[in-house]
């Protein structure tokens, strides 16, 4: 599987835990150099140190994806230190769940800022470098909620539908530059994403569901590795996966 991964320079947002951390570890083990961005600098530095302790190459930079300048600085650091960026993984995300009638507008705004604008900032930061290189690969993270909407998930689902729309538009526009695009939509995966749910009833319900069906975060990492490991002429545009036990 190291084809398409070994020696690549890969930027990962939301890398301090969950999907991002698992992906950084797997891609590093496959020979990639990983450039890690997240808000929690202490955990990010600990991850980079651990990767290096296992013989990998990692660079960590505190990054809030709602800040365009910080996302640009993360990508620019990859190019300045290693000469290029081969893969941009726009992974950072939030999932506060609650019925619309609770009017958690601040949470809606935060989801839009992280889940949508964070992806657009990642695209804006990496695209000029990839255009110049005439190569590159974007991996954007959506969700099963980007394919179907359930009660309490309206705004979260809207942000994840948006990620799919952005990814498809990007796919069509980057053909002249030999750039590939993949959007991955996981189902229930055991991460800290549930910690962003502030409504007690919603949190209890979703935690119970996840305890029954959720799969480990390395399931996502393997999906990323599958997309990256394809030969250059193969562009895996979309992966939707769920735990085998998950019905919805």
What are the residue ranges spanned by the domains of the chain? 9-240
- Name residue 180's beta-bridge partners: 137
- Name residue 60's beta-bridge partners: 36
Q: Whats the size of the chain, residue-wise?
A: 248
The CATH homologous superfamily of the domain defined by 9-240: NAD(P)-binding Rossmann-like Domain (3.40.50.720)
Question: Tokens in use for 207?
Answer: 């935690």
pLDDT 10s digits, 23-75: 999 999 999 999 999 999 999 999 999 999 999 999 999 999 999 999 999 99
Mean pLDDT of all residues in 99-108: 96
Choose the catalytic residue: 82, 121, 156, 210.
156
Alpha carbon distance, N-terminus to C-terminus of the chain:
31
pTM for the predicted model, two decimal places: 0.94
Residue 121 annotated in active site = no
* CB 90, CB 143: distance < 8 Å: no
- In degrees to the nearest 10, what's the CA dihedral of 74, 144, 162, 152? -110
| pLDDT exceeds cutoff 60 at 145 | yes
Question: Tokens in use for 127?
Answer: 């695209």
């Amino acid at each position: 599987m190291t084809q398409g991964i070994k020696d690549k320079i890969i930027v990962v947002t939301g890398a301090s835990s969950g999907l991002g951390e698992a992906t950084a570890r797997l891609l590093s083990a496959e020979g990639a150099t990983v450039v890690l961005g997240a808000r929690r600098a202490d955990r990010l530095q600990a991850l980079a140190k651990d990767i290096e302790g296992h013989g990998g190459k990692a660079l960590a930079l505190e990054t809030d994806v709602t800040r365009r300048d910080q996302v640009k600085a993360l990508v620019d650091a990859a190019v300045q230190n290693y000469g290029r960026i081969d893969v941009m993984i726009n992974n950072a995300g939030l999932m506060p769940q609650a019925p619309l009638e609770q009017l958690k507008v601040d949470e809606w705004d935060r989801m839009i800022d992280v889940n949508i604008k964070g992806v657009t900032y990642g695209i804006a930061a990496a695209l000029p470098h990839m255009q110049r290189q005439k190569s590159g690969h974007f991996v954007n993270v959506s969700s099963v909620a980007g394919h179907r909407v359930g009660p309490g998930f309206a705004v979260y689902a809207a942000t994840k539908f948006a990620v799919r729309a952005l990814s498809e538009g990007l796919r069509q526009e980057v053909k002249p530059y030999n750039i590939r695009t993949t959007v991955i939509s996981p189902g229930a995966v055991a991460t800290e994403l549930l910690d962003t749910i502030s409504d007690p009833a919603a949190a209890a319900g979703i935690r119970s569901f996840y305890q029954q069906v959720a799969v480990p975060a390395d399931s996502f990492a393997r999906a990323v590795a599958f997309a990256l490991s394809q030969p250059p002429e193969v562009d895996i545009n979309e992966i939707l996966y769920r735990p085998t036990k998950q019905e919805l």
